[in-house]
Amino acid sequence: MFALTLMSLGGTLPFLPGNALNRRRLPLLIGVTLLGSAIGALLLLIVPARIVPVMVSTAIIGVAVFATIYRRTGVDSSPLLPGRSLEFVGYALTFLLGIYGGLFSGGYVTILTAIFVAVFRMTFLEAVATTKLVNIFSSAIATAIFMGHGLVDYRLGTILGFTMFVGALLGARFARRLGNLWIRRIYLTAVWLLGLKTLIFDVLKNHGTPVTTPHSL
- Tens of pLDDT, residues 67-123: 666 554 444 555 555 678 888 999 999 999 899 888 877 778 888 888 898 888 888
pTM listed for this prediction: 0.75
Which residue from 100, 87, 109, 98 is spatially nearest to 175, judged by alpha carbons?
109
Q: Are 73 and 116 in contact (CB under 8 A)?
A: no
**Shortest CA distance to 37 belongs to which of 149, 148, 113, 142?**
142
Determine how many CB atoms are found less than 10 A away from the CB of residue 19: 9
